Amino acid sequence: MSFKVVDLFCGCGGLSYGFHKEKYNIIESYDFFDKAIKSYRLNYKKTNAINIDISRVSFLSLKNKVDLVIGGPPCQPFSVVGKQKGNSDLRDMVPEFIRVVKECSPKVFIMENVSGLTSKKNKDYFNNVIKEFHRLGYKTNYEVLDFRDWGVPQKRKRLILIGSLKEIIPMPKKEFSEDNYVVLSDILPVDNVKKNSLSDIIYAKSPLVKGTFASSLLVNGKGRPIYMNEQSNTITASVGNAIHFIDNQKFFEKYYQGLKSGKISKRGSCSEVGIRRLYFEEMSAIQTFPKDYLFYGSTSDKIKQVGNAVPPKFSEYLAKHIKQFL
C-alpha cells in the first residue's frame, strides 16, 4: 500500500526525502519560496509541487483522502537566534498547519520546528497548539530531538510533534550516540580543508570575551569555528559572515586564551593558513543531502534552502518508523 502524503512548507524537499525513498506517495507539496519549489521539482518529478502561500489554499477536497500531513512551518518567530516574536510575528504559520490538518483529517501528522517553540516564553502558545490538535481528535507526542542521534554530523536540535487519530506514536529509536556520532571528517574530503575561503573572516573590533570560548564573540557575524573531528554547529539559512569556518588547529581558541590573558585584539581579515568558510557543497553534505541532489538558484538561494531543510538522513529514519503506525 502506498500511503498518500501532503508536505507543507516543503522547501527544497529535505523532509520529503525519506518518505519518497520509503515509497510513500507524496501527492502535493507547497512552499512560498519559488527557488525552493524549483529545486523540489528537480528531485521529485511525480509530485505536484506548488509555489503558493498555503493560506490561500483550501484543502477540503483532500478530506479523508490523505494518510499523512508533514511540514515545518517557518521557525523564525520562535528561533532563539531571532527576535522571538512568537504568534505576533506575521510569519507564524503554525495556525495554517493546524487548519490544513483539520481540513485533510490525515491519519497522522508530523510537524517540525525549532526547539524555541517549547521554551518558557512560548509555553502558553505551544500548549494551545497541542489543545487545538486534541480538539481535532489527535493523540500527540512531542520531543526536542538531537539529529546527531540519527547520523547527522551537526549539532542540530529540533522539535518533532507527531499526532495520530489512533494512538500515541513514540519517537523513532536513536541510531547513534556520543560513542559513534558521525563527524565532519567522515563526510568531507580532508584535502578540501586547505582551499581558499569564499569570504573573509573578520576579527571583531571589540571582541566580547566571556567566561567560555563558546560564549565569546571574536569575529564579526554568527559564523563559528568548527573542527573536522567533531560535528558542525547548526547549519543556518544565512550567508556571508554567518557561515561557519574550519579551524582544525583551533587558532581561535588560542586567540581567546590570549585575549583573556590581556593580549591586544587583532584587526582586519584572518589570514591564518587552513581557516576558511564552508562551501555550499559542504553545507549540503553536513545537512546529509546526497551528492546527486539538485538545487536551483544562486549560491545564496541554495544556502537558504539547505539551512532551512530537515536533514534527509533523519527523514529516512522517521519515514521508516511512521510506516508501522499507518
Q: Which amino acid is at 122?
A: N
Catalytic annotation, pick one of 10, 12, 75, 270: 75
Continuous H helices in the chain: 14-21, 34-43, 94-104, 123-135, 184-187, 251-260, 280-286, 299-308, 312-323
Q: The cell 560535528 sits on which residue? A: 231
Q: For this structure, is 104 an active site residue?
A: no
What is d(CA 317, CA 87) in angstroms, rounded to the nearest whole number?
A: 31
How far does Cα 5 stand from its chain's mean position? 20
Set of cell numbers at residue 225:
569555528
What is d(CA 294, CA 38) in angstroms, rounded to the nearest whole number?
A: 10
User: Torsions phi, psi of 185, nearest 5?
Assistant: -65, -15
CA nearest neighbour of 150 among 274, 299, 4, 314: 314
User: What is the residue-wise DSSP string for 125-148?
Assistant: HHHHHHHHHHHTT-EEEEEEEEGG
Where does 67-130 show beta strands of DSSP type E? Answer: 68-71, 108-114
How would you class 51 by CB atoms within 10 Å of its CB: exposed for 0-12, middle for 13-18, buried for 19 or more?
A: middle
What is d(CA 160, CA 145) in angstroms, rounded to the nearest whole number?
A: 7
Set of cell numbers at residue 9:
512548507
Sheet holding 276-277, edge to edge: 225-226, 245-246, 276-277
What is d(CA 273, CA 29) in angstroms, rounded to the nearest whole number?
A: 44
Catalytic machinery residues: 75
